[in-house]
């Protein structure tokens, strides 16, 4: 942790001082928590199966995510994978165990996208998509995104073209199946049309809106990493898919509540993950404004994603959503 990060920071909201955060104190509690976790696992074998263990571990991991990119976060994400496998936790276990599992998967997806690697998860859902509730469909979207992050990873890109094409077609079918089965609750609320770039899209509750963004990002990852997209659909169709997906991601990001941290985190991840498929200069500028706006609301990550995207835009002439 950098020295400048261990100072008192005045947090402002809407221009007004809200509260003081002592980062020295935060670091102190973090260190104590990690020490406690290690000692408890060594001294009490039964603790390894305790829900307290995974709850504490995901809080530590979340702190590392917020505090800044570091090796500890990556290491603890991988450690949580093995702990949850030992406890036989997954997305369908239920209760706290599933809540932690889904939170862990979302963090792993973000790191995997940044590192162009596969996610650690190897669990597969048992419930058929046709039996899922509206809420379960929202979490299933995150699982589908993890499959598409795998597809866009450097590891899977080394597979032969025929196999990748078949897998890409399979993922596109699964994503379309998810979209086709959505209940009425996922439909955007009526709004006044305007000529704004990426008009606002209103979906309530926010978790359903986030699921639509996540599915759209997953679709972009598959289409832009498919070895022969024109064998699935003509070029105009591919561009239509990309445009529609970006409109959903950006339109929902434009409408999220400024105080909804979860919605803004999902928007930041999806905007950043799909940004390189935007070619139009005016649309790029609109997307950059949205990224900056959502990032400022949650103060995460610490480094400016807008500046990183601007640099990537200057380097790459063609889209590549796995930045």
- In the chain, what are the domain boundaries? 1-123, 140-323
Other Cβ atoms closer than 10 A to 202: 14
**Structural contact between residues 219 and 245, judged by C-beta atoms closer than 8 angstroms:** yes
Q: 3-state DSSP call for residue 195?
A: coil
Cβ neighbors of 23 (< 8 A, separation 6 or more) are 5, 6, 7, 8, 9
**Structural contact between residues 161 and 234, judged by C-beta atoms closer than 8 angstroms:** no
Q: 22 forms bridges with which residues in the sheet? A: 8
- Pick the more confident residue, 322 or 265: 265
Percentage of residues of the chain with pLDDT beyond 70: 88
Looking at residue 25, its pLDDT comes to 85
pTM of the model: 0.89
Residue 164 has pLDDT above 90, yes or no: yes
CA end-to-end distance (rounded Å), the chain: 25
Residue 11 has pLDDT above 80, yes or no: no
Looking at residue 147, its pLDDT comes to 99
pLDDT, tens digit, for every residue of 168-184? Answer: 999 999 999 999 999 99
Residue 68 has pLDDT above 80, yes or no: no
Average pLDDT value for the chain: 89
- Pick the more confident residue, 144 or 16: 144
**Spatial separation of the C-alpha atoms in residues 77 and 73, rounded to whole Å:** 6
Residue 58 has pLDDT above 90, yes or no: yes
Residue 9 has pLDDT above 70, yes or no: no
**Structural contact between residues 109 and 63, judged by C-beta atoms closer than 8 angstroms:** no
Average pLDDT value for residue range 193-220: 94
pLDDT class for 273, splitting at 50, 70, 90?
A: very high
Residue 43 has pLDDT above 60, yes or no: yes
**Structural contact between residues 197 and 283, judged by C-beta atoms closer than 8 angstroms:** yes
Cβ neighbors of 48 (< 8 A, separation 6 or more) are 41, 83, 86, 87
- Pick the more confident residue, 60 or 236: 60
Looking at residue 20, its pLDDT comes to 59
**Structural contact between residues 141 and 213, judged by C-beta atoms closer than 8 angstroms:** no
Looking at residue 95, its pLDDT comes to 96
Q: 114 forms bridges with which residues in the sheet? A: none
Q: ω before 107 within 30° of 0 (cis)?
A: no
DSSP state of 46: G
Looking at residue 7, its pLDDT comes to 40
pLDDT class for 230, splitting at 50, 70, 90?
A: low
Percentage of residues of the chain with pLDDT beyond 90: 71
Lowest average pLDDT, out of 158-167, 221-230, 253-262, 307-316, goes to: 221-230
What six digits make up the tokens of 260? 């909804």
Looking at residue 293, its pLDDT comes to 98
Cβ neighbors of 238 (< 8 A, separation 6 or more) are 223, 229, 230, 232
Element spanning 142, H or E: helix 134-151
CA 132 vs. chain centroid, Å, equals 21
pLDDT class for 311, splitting at 50, 70, 90?
A: very high
What is the signed CA dihedral for 285, 287, 288, 290, rounded to 10 degrees? 130
pLDDT, tens digit, for every residue of 129-143? Answer: 999 999 999 999 999
Candidates 310, 291, 305, 269; CA nearest to 198 is: 291
pLDDT, tens digit, for every residue of 247-258? Answer: 999 999 999 999
Looking at residue 316, its pLDDT comes to 74
pLDDT class for 2, splitting at 50, 70, 90?
A: very low
Angle made by CA atoms 170, 113, 319, in degrees to the nearest 5? 75
Residue 16 has pLDDT above 90, yes or no: no
pLDDT, tens digit, for every residue of 73-129? Answer: 888 899 999 999 999 999 999 999 999 999 999 999 999 999 999 999 999 999 999
């Amino acid at each position: 942790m950098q020295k400048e990060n261990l100072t008192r920071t005045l947090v402002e909201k809407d221009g007004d001082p809200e509260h003081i955060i002592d980062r020295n104190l935060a670091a102190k509690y973090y260190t104590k928590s990690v020490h406690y976790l290690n000692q408890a696992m060594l001294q009490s074998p039964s603790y390894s199966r305790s829900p307290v263990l995974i709850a504490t571990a995901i809080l530590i991991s979340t702190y590392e995510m917020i505090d800044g990119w570091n090796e500890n976060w990556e290491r603890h994400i991988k450690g949580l994978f093995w702990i949850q496998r030992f406890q036989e936790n997954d997305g369908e276990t239920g209760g706290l165990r599933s809540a932690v599992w889904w939170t862990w998967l979302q963090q792993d997806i973000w790191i995997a996208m940044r590192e162009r690697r596969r996610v650690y998860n190897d669990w597969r859902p048992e419930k058929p998509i046709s039996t899922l509730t509206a809420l379960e469909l929202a979490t299933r979207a995150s699982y589908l995104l993890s499959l598409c992050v795998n597809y866009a990873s450097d590891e899977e890109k080394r597979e032969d073209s025929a196999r990748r094409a078949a897998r890409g077609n399979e993922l596109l079918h699964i994503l379309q199946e998810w979209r086709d089965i959505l209940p009425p609750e996922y439909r955007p609320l009526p709004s006044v049309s305007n000529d704004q770039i990426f008009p606002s899209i209103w979906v309530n509750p926010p978790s359903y809106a986030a699921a639509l963004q996540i599915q759209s990002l997953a679709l972009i990852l598959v289409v832009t990493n498919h070895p022969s997209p024109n064998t699935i659909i003509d070029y105009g169709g591919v561009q239509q898919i990309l445009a529609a997906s970006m409109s959903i991601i950006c339109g929902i990001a434009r409408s999220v509540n400024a105080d909804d941290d979860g919605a803004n985190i999902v928007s930041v991840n999806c905007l950043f993950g799909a940004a390189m498929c935007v070619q139009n200069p005016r649309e790029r500028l609109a997307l950059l404004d949205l990224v900056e706006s959502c990032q400022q609301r949650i103060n995460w990550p610490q480094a400016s994603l807008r500046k990183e995207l601007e640099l990537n835009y200057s380097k790459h002439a063609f889209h590549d959503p796995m930045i």
